[in-house]
Amino acid sequence: MATDDQERCRCCFLKWMNLQQQELSELHQALTLQASNKNSENCLRQLAEKCIKHYQDYVNNRSQLARNDVSAFFAPAWCSNWENSLLWIAGCRPSQYIRLVYALNGIEIDAQLHEFLQGTRTGNLGELSPEQFHLIDILQSKTIRAEEKLTTQMASLQEDVADQPMVAITKGLSKIGEMNGELDRALDKHEQGMVGALEEADSLRLSTLKELMDILTSRQAVDFLTAAKKLQLCVHEWGKTRDERHGRGKLMIT
Amino acid sequence: MAGMCCGVVGEGETPAPIEPSSRTSRRRRMELLPSKFIADVAVPPVLKNGRKRQKLDLCPRSSPPLQLEKAAKTCLSSEAEGKVENNETKSESEEMSPTQALNFCRSTPSAEVVRECPKFGVTSVCGRRRDMEDAVSVFPSFCLQKTQMSDGYHFFGVFDGHGCSHVAARCRDRLHEILKEQVEGAGEAVEWKGTLERSFELMDEEVRERSGPLKSTWSCRCDLQTPQSDAVGSTAVVAIVTPEKIIVSNCGDSRAVLCRNGVAVPLSSDHKPDRPDELLRIEAAGGRVIYWDGARVLGVLAMSRAIGDSYLKPYVISEPEVTITDRTAEDECLIIASDGLWDVVSNETACGVARMCFRAQRPPSPPGSSHSDVAVGAVSKSSDKACSDASILLTKLALARHSTDNVSVVVVDLRRNNDQQSLGLEN
């Protein structure tokens, strides 16, 4: 039963990563067509929306599986130690999306500044308009506040393990690691809390991403998703390589 | 008509310009929209939901605090406004709101030109930090009552907090009021240096004693109910722009830079613990500067002057350095910013960027005949956009260069008779 859960969780993740790869090719293709004017603004928007829809599906799927085995997602065996050490409530920090926007925007500005100062380039440097810049900043502070709230919630859940009823049950045990019905009920209840945290974190990730998509133009949204997916896939691979260097991993990760 | 934007509240003035063309009239309508909106939101001068936000008071006469986010709409195009509205109602910010992108638009009656508040743009973002500790305040004609003369005193301040946001927020809310009282207490001719020094001293006392009228309910990281939070302070750089002069009063490592004929002229000098004269002063007072991730007073604070920080007194002082600069025809703009900008962008680059923004916004072909209403309208509008564009572009540049701090930038347009100057340049 337990291995089944584990296997289903792993499958869910692997399917998701395969989909990322597939979406990345689609996004690249769309950008190429756009560059040669063969693709409409509308196509890009639809593609971005499709990606978000897929993410929504993944989140829903994950939530279902987590009800059976939530810890599998907090310390996934299918990711490298390095990747797992970067997790925030079983995923990325939603505030990372804003960092990514700033970073992408920054690369453009640096490349264009010289021309701008020479007067050979005018117009909207770094693509993000003042309005978008303003909205992204509002989104950022909102996201960080929500993140902090969830972090505090998570802290409580972790502290709870060193509190009642676990402590009283432990005191009454005659052997280390012994399990009983009372303990199982207590741990099940604790896991429910963890599922709640996971669901809230996933919903924050999703809503932040959706709001960001609303702020960005279709072209920017596709650019952003391309960069985000590429980064995600890279992080997964880098983790494997780095773990191997420390003599970990090859057997565990497929 | 002086004060299409800021005078609307409580005055009932109805600007009714005669429109020479439909294009201009559309432009005018777009300008008028925000002012009406400001009037609407300003009437009950209560912060919605008790939210504390970076705010900017555009209404000197009745002075109800305006939420800056509302005011920021003045720079947004009408198409974008709906979007902001949505986003705002969704957001439930309690802490300082980060962005201010403000653009100040008003018509330019030529006779009143010297008393007019210069156009300006403000951008202030959280950037790569997780806390917003910067605060910005802009108060055009901040001490009106006194004399005809003081009508032309305009207040611009940038405050970069450390430890928590509440000292910076307090400076934003109170410093202009304290200064106003001091200016009104003085005689006909204001002695700016002494007046500003006294105001900074009073501001520092108020922060330390937590006295003075509380404007809003505080909500910040360090709970203000606890006895003292001594390890909290803020830089303060204030520029008073008058028709003849620019007075800059600085305490800490924020900075004001004048862009004059393409040259960057710093109007303040950063108070860093390793500045030779500051080092001597600290050591004479019995303090030490220890290098621990840069020069720090007692190994703690990376600036030698600040408002607040009572635990580092007398080594860290609140006394500002004041510079008084005569305005000239060559002055282009004033850039006031926190170290989030200056750490990664040089004075020269900042001026270059602001200049290019002004140049980019010059109307493509002003009618050669005379400065008709069309031309004036175009220039005055685009000039506002230029200030706003400059402040945003400088902020973007700071982020692009990996500034890790909050970034706040105020750009003030100091060009006199914009319309004539740009016409002259085109010829």
Domain that holds residue A98: 4-251
Type and span of the H or E element at A229: helix A218-245
Say yes or no to pLDDT of B98 above 70. no
- What letter does residue B5 receive in the DSSP assignment? T
φ, ψ at B266 (rounded to 5°): -65, 130
Residues of B in contact with A134 (CB under 8 A): 72, 76, 84, 99, 101
Domain count, chain A: 1
**Out of A94-108, B27-41, B121-135, least confident range:** B27-41
Shortest distance between the Cα of A119 and any Cα of chain B, in A, equals: 7
On whether the CB atoms of residues B163 and B231 are closer than 8 A, the answer is: yes
Are B353 and A130 an interchain contact pair (Cβ–Cβ within 8 Å)? no
Are residues B401 and A140, on separate chains, in Cβ contact within 8 Å?
A: no
Position of tokens 């706040």? Answer: B408
Chain B residues with at least one Cβ partner in A under 8 Å = 69, 72, 75-77, 80, 83-84, 87-88, 91-95, 97-99, 101, 123, 125-128, 130, 132, 349, 352-353, 356, 359-360, 388-389, 392-393, 395-397, 399-402
Q: Does the distance separating the beta carbons of B92 and A142 come in below 8 Å?
A: yes
The predicted pLDDT at position A248 comes to: 77
**Predicted local confidence at residue A111, as pLDDT:** 77
**Confidence (pLDDT) at A157:** 95
* Mean pLDDT value of segment B246-257: 98
8 Å CB contact of B395 and A133: yes
Q: Beta strand B307-308 with B321-326: parallel, antiparallel or unpaired?
A: unpaired
When CB atoms are compared, the residue of B75, B76, B91 closest to A142 is B91
Checking if the pLDDT of B31 tops 70, the result is: no
A175 or B56, higher pLDDT: A175
Torsion of Cα atoms, B281 then B235 then B220 then A201, to 10°: -110
Task: Give helix then strand counts, H and E, for chain B.
Answer: 10, 15
Confidence of residue A246 (pLDDT cuts 50, 70, 90): confident
Q: Are the beta carbons of B292 and B273 closer than 8 angstroms?
A: no
B-chain residues near A125 (CB < 8 A)? 393, 396
pLDDT above 50 (res B102): no
Instruction: Return the amino acid letter for A82.
Output: W
Cβ atoms of B71 and B56 within 8 Å: the answer is yes
Mutate one of A141, A142, A149, A213 to test the B interface: name it (highest B CB count within 10 A): A141
Smallest Cβ–Cβ distance between B76 and the set A99, A126, A131 belongs to A131
Give pLDDT, residue A113. Answer: 83
Give the residue carrying structure tokens 């700016």. B192
Inform me whether the pLDDT recorded for A38 exceeds 80.
no
Q: Give chain B's mean pLDDT.
A: 71
Residues 6+ apart with CB under 8 A from B80: A131
pLDDT in tens, A200-228: 999 999 999 999 999 999 989 999 999 99
pLDDT tens-place string over residues B347-358: 999 999 999 988
pLDDT, residue A96, reads 96
Shortest distance, CA A137 to any CA of chain B (angstroms): 6
- Minimal Cα–Cα distance from A253 to chain B, Å? 34
- Given a contact cutoff of 8 angstroms between Cβ atoms, the answer to whether B2 and B106 are in contact is yes
pTM of the model: 0.78
Q: pLDDT class for B152, splitting at 50, 70, 90?
A: confident
Distances (CA, A) of B201 to B178, B206, B240, B355: 10, 9, 17, 36
